[in-house]
Structure 1
Amino acid sequence: MTRDLCIEALVDLGFTALEAEVYVTLVEHSPATAYKVAQEVGKAAANVYKAVESLQRKGAILVEESSGRLCRAVPPAELIGQLQHQFAQARTRAEQALAKLRGPAPDERVYQLAARDQVLARARAMLERGKKVLLCDLFPESVEALRPDLERAARRGVTVCVQTYAPATFPAGIHVFENPEGVRQLEAWPGGQWLNVVADAREYLFALLRTGGDGLHQAVWSESPCLAVVHHSGIKAEMTVVAFQRLIEAKADAAAFAEAFTRTQQLLGAADLPGYAALRQRLGPGLDSGG
């Protein structure tokens, strides 16, 4: 089982299945000739010779410079270090090349995301792109997955507001709206973890991840300003209700409600956000910008 997991991991890193099998064999049985490895793995010698040549070019094995041509695996830690360095270099080249491409035209379609890692990467990118107001509706696992990114956004001066469903401690720059119905909500969704983000009323991501950190039920993303404005308003309204529920529990007076309403509306933003601006530009100055 361990051997199979090693081979699978190497394939994920870009090795062919045969290259991975040859490398693992050499880790266990170095030094050995390619012919001996072919016998060990039960594959055609010609194919193993090609795999050995490829592994040598990749820096994964050493080949003796003699007629014996004994092969020795580079220690796994050394190999991983090489791969990390190569990936870093390739990433830098890709970033520099891709930065020169023209960006896509505005696109208002709604797209489905197919993988959990893709959802988290998109959410983190949205939090990084946010300039004014980020509204997040997060179940506990989603809170922990995005915590560092939320904190970085707040340190940049972005208004970060998070509706949570269990107690969560954040730095002072993050505004937390703990839903008093959190326990009931979590019980209602035992197999799912909501991760909903609206950035600047300009783009939104709604995702239902599988509980336990494995998999995805469904996720959609769009940068349609029309839809993003609607979803911004929806989360904004939920957060306002949460603030009011807390005041009701505290038996606050009318003045406290008026103050809370004004504060939340100013905090959560609306008319000056990029999404609202884009929509007003399209529809004209008559658009109600109250959110």
Structure 2
Amino acid sequence: MKETIFETLKNLSFTEYEAKAYLALLEESPLTGYAVAKNSGVPRSKIYEVLDSLAVRGDILVSPGNTPQYTPVPAKELIKNRRRVAEENFELAEKSLAEFERSASDRENIWNITGSNEILAKVKQCIASAKKRILIEVWKEEFEELEPDLRKAANSGVNVTIIAYGKIASDFANVYLHYMGDKITDEYGGRWIVVSADDSEVVAGIVSLGKDSRAAWTRHVGLVMPITEVIIHDLYLMEIMEKHRELMEESFGENLVNLRRKFSIYPDFKKHYFK
């Protein structure tokens, strides 16, 4: 029968020596460490290490003194404690695995968001999740709504960098005024927003069409990487235009208009994304 109980205790995470020591105390207690070793067959060189492990786990109790004595937690209480710990671990595992599964799904999916209010709500969630850096291309109209969220992120230590379309002033972020400013709205026929948080998730889309606005949110690296790098390359261009505007415009026209026309596919040189 003892062999069966040994196996049962091993299934409850007891080592062989721990099982022997606990059963010896169930048969007779309280006992000194020396007596537990003698009654259980656990080597005396190991007994105090074994008893300490049982005590830390809450399987036995120790009475302090010059010669400590040990007594077991009753078997029913031991099983009750083990069941409680197991249930807690199962609940934690269920929650953690579900979150991991959802996160893994998020990393592979691209989610469509409809409506300007809904898009901005997702942008705010993205901003709140950032721990290191936020890169955002935004018009002043949307910036006014997002300003409190961006400020809160900056106050928590997040680096906030803004490519601003229109006059945006900020005392908490690095602001780069786009060299075309408001003129680009006419060329594109609308306003967009692009946000990258910690180089791990992005929101990008059209925000000026009210309920018909469209954007995508994703953690898919196949989109996060190129979209983030496009923002960074825009920042490169802002820096270059700041220092060498005259030279650039001498080569490519005012506000680089000749470059924009070179790569346009429409006779009016406007963009026709919004149809």
Normalised by the length of structure 1, the TM-score is 0.48
User: 1:201 is matched with which residue?
Assistant: 199
Partner SS state of residue 157, structure 2: coil
Distance 1:140 1:105 in 2: 32
- Which string of whole-angstrom CA distances, capped at 9 and with x for unpartnered residues, describes residues 114-136 of structure 1? 22222111100100000111110
Give the conservation status (yes or no) of the 8 Å contact 1:193–1:210.
yes
User: 2:176 is matched with which residue?
Assistant: 177
Once the 2 structures are TM-superposed, how far is the Cα of residue 217 of structure 1 from its aligned partner?
Answer: 2.6
User: 1:228 is matched with which residue?
Assistant: 224
Give the conservation status (yes or no) of the 8 Å contact 1:201–1:225.
no
Structure showing greater radius of gyration is 2
User: 2:272 is matched with which residue?
Assistant: none
User: 2:25 is matched with which residue?
Assistant: none
1:43-54 to 2 correspondence within 5 Å?
none
User: 1:167 is matched with which residue?
Assistant: 167
- Which string of whole-angstrom CA distances, capped at 9 and with x for unpartnered residues, describes residues 229-253 of structure 1? 11111100101111110111388xx
Give the conservation status (yes or no) of the 8 Å contact 1:177–1:242.
yes
Once the 2 structures are TM-superposed, how far is the Cα of residue 150 of structure 1 from its aligned partner?
Answer: 0.9
User: 1:132 is matched with which residue?
Assistant: 132
Q: Residue 239 in 1 paired to residue 235 in 2? A: yes
User: 1:144 is matched with which residue?
Assistant: 144
Distance 2:213 2:118 in 1: 13
* Structure 1 segments unaligned to the other structure (5+ residues): 1-99, 252-291
Q: Give the count of matched residue pairs.
A: 149
Partner SS state of residue 182, structure 2: helix
- Which string of whole-angstrom CA distances, capped at 9 and with x for unpartnered residues, describes residues 126-179 of structure 1? 0000011111011121211211111111111101001011111111x3000111
Q: 1:105 to 1:249 in 2, by over 3 A?
A: closer
> Which structure shows the higher helix fraction?
2
Once the 2 structures are TM-superposed, how far is the Cα of residue 226 of structure 1 from its aligned partner?
Answer: 3.0
Distance 1:219 1:137 in 2: 14
Distance 2:208 2:179 in 1: 23
User: 1:33 is matched with which residue?
Assistant: none
Give the conservation status (yes or no) of the 8 Å contact 1:141–1:193.
no
User: 1:265 is matched with which residue?
Assistant: none
Once the 2 structures are TM-superposed, how far is the Cα of residue 193 of structure 1 from its aligned partner?
Answer: 2.1
Give the conservation status (yes or no) of the 8 Å contact 1:127–1:199.
yes
Give the conservation status (yes or no) of the 8 Å contact 1:112–1:221.
yes
Give the conservation status (yes or no) of the 8 Å contact 1:142–1:194.
no
User: 2:6 is matched with which residue?
Assistant: none
Give the conservation status (yes or no) of the 8 Å contact 2:132–2:198.
yes
Report the identity percentage: 21
2:196 aligned partner, one-letter code: V
Give the conservation status (yes or no) of the 8 Å contact 2:115–2:213.
no
Distance 1:185 1:105 in 2: 37
* Structure 2 segments unaligned to the other structure (5+ residues): 1-94, 248-275
1:7-156 to 2 correspondence within 5 Å?
102-103=98-99, 104-107=102-105, 108-156=108-156
